[in-house]
Amino acid sequence: MNVISRVARFYIDGFRQMTLGRTLWAVIAVKLIIIFAVLKVFFFPNFIKEHAPSGHEADYVASELEKRLSDNE
């Protein structure tokens, strides 16, 4: 058996023999789905990408900072 198949067998056997690990993996899977498929997609967009034209992000941030200053005056 070559190294790759031995490593694969190591992981497959490990996963098969899990007891508590099954519950933990289930929790991890649910959590990752919530984090990446729900929170990231629907609630946490990249704000600058959404508001600044591509390649003009620096201009957008600069104008934002200038506006904050002018609000102070």
Partner 1 sequence: MTLLNIDATAIDWARAQFALTAMYHWLFVPLTLGLGLIMSIMETCYYRTGSTFWRAAAQFWQRLFGVNFAMGVATGIILEFEFGTNWSNYSWFVGDIFGAPLAIEGIVAFFMESTFVAVMYFGWDKVSRRFHLASTWLTWIGASLSAWWILVANAWMQHPVGCTFNAATMRNEMTSFFDVALSPVAVDKFLHTVISSWVIGAAFVVAVAAWYLLKNRQQERQLAIKSMHIGAIVGLVAAIGAAITGDESAYKVAQVQPMKLAAMEALYDGGEDVGLTAVAWVSPFEQPDYAAGGEAPLRLAVPNGLSILATRSLHGYVPGINDILRGYTRADGTVEPSAAEKMERGRTAIEALAAYRKNPTATPPAALTDNIKYLGYGFIKDEAELVPYVPVNFWAFRIMVGLGSLFILFFACVLFIEWRTKQSGSFPRWLLCAAIVLLPCAYVCSECGWLVAEFGRQPWTIQDMLPVSASVSDIGSSAVALTFWLFLVLFTLMLVVEISIMLKQIKKPHPELAGA
Does residue 64 sit in helix, strand or coil? helix
Binders of partner 1 in range 24-43 (CB under 8 A): 24-25, 27-28, 31-32, 34-35, 39-40, 43
> Which one among 45, 53, 54, 55 touches partner 1, defined by CB under 8 A?
45
Q: What is the dihedral of CA 22, 28, 30, 34, to 10 degrees?
A: 180
Rounded CA-CA distance 61/42 in Å is: 23
Q: Which of 8, 10, 22, 37 binds partner 1 (CB under 8 A)?
A: 10
- What's CA 17's distance to the chain center, in Å? 29
Question: Applying CB under 8 A, which residues contact partner 1?
Answer: 10-11, 13-15, 17, 20-21, 23-25, 27-28, 31-32, 34-35, 39-40, 43-48, 51, 57-59, 61-62, 64-69, 71-72
